[in-house]
Every structure is written in C-alpha cells, then in structure tokens.
Amino acid sequence: MSTNNKEIRIGFYICHCGTNIAGVVDVDKIREFIAKKDNVVVSRNYKYMCSDPGQELIQKDIQEHRLNRIVVASCSPLLHEKTFRNTLEKAGLNPFYLQMVNVREHVAWVHSDNEKATEKAKALCNAAINRVRYNKPLEKKRVPFHQDVLIIGGGIAGIHSALILASAGKKVYLVEKKPTIGGHMAMFDKTFPTLDCAACILTPKMSAIKENKNVVLWTNSEVIKVEGYVGNFKVTIKRNPRYVREDLCIGCGQCIESCSYKEAKYPDEFNLGLSKRKPIYIPFPQAIPNSAIIDDKTCIHFKMGKCKQMCLSACERNAIDFNQKEELREIQVGAIIVATGFKIYDPQKEPEYGYGVYPNVYTSLEVERLINASGPTAGEVILRDGTKPKSIGIIHCIGSRSEKANKWCSRVCCMYSLKLAYLLKKHTHAEIYNFYIDMRTPGKMYEEFYDRLLMERVHFIRGKVAEVTDISLVKEEEGKLILRVEDTLASVIRRIPVDMVVLSVGLEPSEDTQKLAHILNIGLSAEGFFQERHPKLAPVSTFSEGIFIAGCCQGPKDIPDTVAQAGASAAEAMAMIDAGYFEIEPITAHVLDEFCSGCKSCINICPYSAISYDESKKKVFVNETLCKGCGTCSATCPSGVMKQNLFEDDQILNEIEGLLVYE
C-alpha cells in the first residue's frame, strides 16, 4: 500500500476541550498544518468533539466526503475512544479506522510553554495521520457469559451483593474465610449516626443468606486459584474442615457443654480475646451458619490424639465428624465480586500509646465488644483490671494520616469515635475526652450527630496525644493513665488523667489482599487496597473485566457507602450476565501460520496463558478470548511472525517516522 494511495481519504479533527487544550495548544495552527498533508480531505477544529454536534460533524463528513480514515486529537483514548469508534460505526465505517491523539493529558495538561506544546502536538498528530493509513478493519468477537457469580468475603458488602443477585434469580457462591459471615459489622454495637443496633439490622440479612436457595454459602473457605476470563472463570476453592457437619448441626450447644475442657481457655476471636472459648465453639449467638466448629489447634483430640470425645456422644444428631478433610471445589462463574474488607491498624507499632503494656488501653474495636450486650462483659463497661472507668480518653487518628504509619485518613474513625463517646457516656457516665486533629463528619446527618455530642458534655480537645504513661506528677494522677497533649486551640500543654484509653485505630488492607490480587490478577493502589478502574467513573470495576470490588477492600468507608458499592457491583455484574455474551476487543495477537517455526518462545512469556502449541501442526496458536493484547509475544517472536492487530509493524514504524519527521 502506498502512502499516496488516492483511495485513502482522511478526516482530521482537533478538539478544544473548552480551554483545556485550546488554552495551551494553538489548534488553528494544527488544523492548517494537517490540512496540507497527503490524503487529508477534511481538517477541522471544534470546541467539544465528544459532544453530539461534534460527533455529527464527523458522521456528516464521512458521508459527504467519503472519508475512510479518521484521526481525532483530543483527550486520552481511555475516555473517548469508545465514543468515536461508535461514531465511525454509525456512519458505516469500520471503527478501527479511527486513530486518537492524546493532546490533552500528554500535551496541554503537562506543558506550560504554549509554543513548544503546539510543536509537540504537531508531531503527535502527524504521527497519527501517518499511521492511520495502515489501519485495517477489525471485527469484535462475542463469547458466551456464564450466569453464576462468585462473591469473595461475607461481610456486609458480600452479603448485600449476594442478596441482590440472588433475588434477581442468579446463582451466587458466597465464600468466607472465617467460620461465620457477618464480618466486622457483626462485631459492632451500634451504628452511626442513627445509633441503631448493628446486629438488629445485619442479622436478618445474614439469615436471608442462609435461607436463599440461590446462594451457596461456603464458610471456612478460601479462593486459591482463578483461571479463565470474563464470562468464563474457573475458580478453585479450598474448604477447610469444620469437623462439624453444617447440614446436621442445629447449634444447640450440647457439644460445647460436654467438651473435656470444663472451662473456656482460649482467646475468643470474635470478642478479640476479651473473653475465652473452648476448642469447640459457636463464634456468636447469631452466627451463620449457626453451627459449631472445632479448632484443631486447641482440641485435645487433634493435639494429643487421645480425648474421651465427649462432644461426639453429646451430639444427638451425630453432626461431629473428626475425619473431615480439607476439600477442593471447582466452580464456573461469569463474574467475581471481591468484598474482603479491611483489618485494623496494630497500635503496638506505636509503643508510645501503651497498647499491650497498660491493660486499660483498648482499641476501638475492642470497645465495640465491651459495650455490646452479647460481648464479654454482657454490655457492662468493666475494664481488664475489674474496675469501672470514671474518665475515658479517646485518641483519634491512631495509625492514620502519618508518613510513619498509614498516610490516608481512614474516614470512619471520627464518626465511630463520636459514637463510642456517646455510648460510653451512656454506659458509664464517665468524663469523656475526645482528642482529634481535624473533626471529619461529611455524611448525611453526621454533622448533626457531632452537634448532639457537643451537647452531651463530651470534651473535644484539638491535639494529638503524644504518649500514654502511668507516671504521675501530682496526686490526682496516681493510679491513672496520663495523657500528655497540646491543646492546640488553647495553645497550652495539658496532662489529663484517665482510667481508660480508647485508641481510634485506622483501617488498612486485610491480610490476604496482596495474595488475592495476584490470584485474581487485579491491581493494588499505592496504599495496598484494590485498585478501582477509575476513581470517579468506574469505582467498583477493576482492570480485569468481570471482576468487581466492593466495600473496604477498595479503601476505608462507612457502612452506607459499603452497601452502595455492594449494590453497584451486583448491578454491574448483572448487566454483563444479562447481556448473555461479552464482546472482546479484536486487539489480539495472531500467528502467521506458515512461517511459525514452533520454537515456543512466546508460550512461557505470555502473562495470560493465551498461547498453546499444536502438536500436529508443530506450530503455536493464540486463544483470542484469553489474549489481552499486551504485545509481549510479538516483541519476543524471533521470526517476527507473531502479529498483533492494530499494532502491526508498518503501523508502528510509520507512526514513529511521523513523529520524527513532521514538517
């Protein structure tokens, strides 16, 4: 194909993007410059190319001037490539005859010298004109979409997503690592700002999961392998043994009564070690499944091999099964929703706050249990040393907003600290001090809740406590924990003696986040949470099609936002399922069969396992549904016969030439 082929008729459009581009790049100059190029039939500039009139302009030109190649110089193709491809399609042109030039993010937004920016834009536009001559028509392919959905994580986000999908008739696999669903929300006492009881609003949803026929609930289970692609994921799940058959156990607790351990001896995970449990236990009264579990690390049978197995005989339904083994299950799903939540910051990383040294220093999550009616003290606020606090200090921002811990604001701590202040006041009538840096209460009725707390005679001291000690200087401080703080509004240093310290710890990515990101092939943002596809416009999507994220695994957020994301990801998954098929971009690799020597260099290097070897032909072939078009194989192929659609040699080389020689 010659570059002067008279058949090629190019239309060029440069967008002002208001003043975003035109404020830096001289768009008239570019238009005139491109108009003089070979094969360019139309060259225009326009205020907003992405607007309806902008798109109509292109369509009209295509029809009137018989254009067969289009170059649009505007923003990043990530934003509007789809828009303009549709425009071409509507005008009856193959959408892959479009070439975009990013003169906004790559030029206007990053340069301050207008003249130089215009020169750069010239080169980039010329490169696109050069390349677009070589673009070829491509066809999108459709693959069928599996109807089932996997949800990883059984906290409020996973529960909510599962219920929405199930109510729409979709089959959902809900996989939870712990023995019960409910997540962190099940541990909370009340929720802000309405102060409704967390269990009262959560447990009906937990029961609904149990009862819904469309939900397959696997607790004590982990996702260990994910293969395939959007619409066709093959997932391997490890189900750890519970040693109690869920289908038989009714949670009567006879086994627990009869356990050889007369006294509960081991720290109870659900109450964060504030109470004890036996080796056989039910995590909490409303646990789902409401079934006992045996912890094989503490059970005498598993530790020593000799136990009278009183639990076995106590169970009338013969639900106990010491022979249960770990099981691997393989399932097929079309979409995956990740809702793995968060973990709290470990305050022992900052020894100055005395956590783990002074028994009366608690994390906020421990306090949730302490004031909960079903908690270790049945809702009475009694400290580890057996006393009732008369004064309490709540220190905000522990582990948050710091280069030394987590840089981010954890978003929920101000509000939950206000809530704890309120509840502790109600429970103890103690003097309560909140130590904050900035009070952050953005949310419906949140500021109003702060206002209510101000009227509750809770102290609000602006300043971060530097240390918690038991070293007294005056009589009133003896036997107390002393907080040294700068009251930054009064500009004085204060020492405040209290009986109890609450550390408002921040939220961070849960333990297995990195491992799971690797299994799912989805990204992590700098702070270690899962990376959304776009911070504003695709907040629950990931860069892997068909995999969605919801709740705190994407970043710290409160329950309303978590539930909103859970709903959103369910809806997005459903949109894909209900379409029945998935369109894959034709930007994939293919082999020029006759020249392939069968060296297999490309097979191992492919990050998506999309290339296989055909023994009979002694050649490789590409699975187009798996191929993501990364180009690694084309670059690797020693014979140069692995080609990639839309990134072929003559396209790239001419683009480069156009970049280097443009006047």
Q: Which residues make up the interface to another protein (CB under 8 A)?
A: 351-352, 397, 401-405, 437-438, 462-467, 469, 471, 473, 484-488, 491-493
Least distance CB 494 / another protein (angstroms):
9
Nearer to another protein among residue 177 and residue 401 (C-beta): 401
CA distance 39 to 45: 18
Rg (CA), the chain: 31
Give me the residue label for tokens 């110089």. Answer: 73
Edge-first strand listing for the sheet containing 232-239 = 221-229, 232-239, 327-333
Least distance CB 480 / another protein (angstroms):
15
CA distance 564 to 572: 12
Nearer to another protein among residue 436 and residue 582 (C-beta): 436
Least distance CB 464 / another protein (angstroms):
4
Least distance CB 504 / another protein (angstroms):
14
Nearer to another protein among residue 36 and residue 404 (C-beta): 404
Nearer to another protein among residue 287 and residue 468 (C-beta): 468
CA distance 339 to 549: 6
User: Encoding tokens for residue 226?
Assistant: 């994910």
Q: Work out the angle at residue 122's Cα, subtended by the Cα atoms of residues 117 and 127, and round it to the nearest 5 degrees.
A: 130
Least distance CB 418 / another protein (angstroms):
19
Least distance CB 163 / another protein (angstroms):
40
Least distance CB 474 / another protein (angstroms):
11
User: Encoding tokens for residue 187?
Assistant: 């541990």
Question: Pairing state of beta strands 342-344 and 481-487?
Answer: unpaired
Nearer to another protein among residue 453 and residue 485 (C-beta): 485
Helix (H) or strand (E) holding 94: none
Least distance CB 11 / another protein (angstroms):
49
Nearer to another protein among residue 120 and residue 396 (C-beta): 396
Phi and psi torsions of 46, nearest 5° = -155, 150
Least distance CB 446 / another protein (angstroms):
21
Exposed/middle/buried for 660, CB within 10 Å: 0-12, 13-18, 19+?
exposed
Indicate if the alpha-carbon torsion angle 524, 527, 529, 533 is positive or negative: negative
Least distance CB 441 / another protein (angstroms):
17
Give me the residue label for tokens 């200087």. Answer: 473
Residue pair 240/246 in contact (Cβ under 8 Å)? The answer is no
CA distance 354 to 358: 6
User: Encoding tokens for residue 298?
Assistant: 């503490």
Nearer to another protein among residue 489 and residue 575 (C-beta): 489
Nearer to another protein among residue 352 and residue 593 (C-beta): 352
**First and final C-alpha spacing in the chain:** 23
Least distance CB 403 / another protein (angstroms):
5
Nearer to another protein among residue 486 and residue 545 (C-beta): 486
Specify which residues 51 forms β-bridges with: none
**Which three-class secondary structure state does DSSP give residue 606?**
coil
Q: Work out the angle at residue 68's Cα, subtended by the Cα atoms of residues 34 and 130, and round it to the nearest 5 degrees.
A: 40
Least distance CB 635 / another protein (angstroms):
38
CA distance 9 to 1: 14
Least distance CB 393 / another protein (angstroms):
13
CA distance 14 to 30: 8
Q: At what angle do helices 156-167 and 559-579 cross, to 10 degrees?
A: 40
CA distance 241 to 578: 36
Nearer to another protein among residue 146 and residue 440 (C-beta): 440
Nearer to another protein among residue 315 and residue 395 (C-beta): 395
List Cα–Cα distances, 381 to 16, 192, 364, 547, in angstroms: 64, 20, 13, 43
CA distance 578 to 149: 12
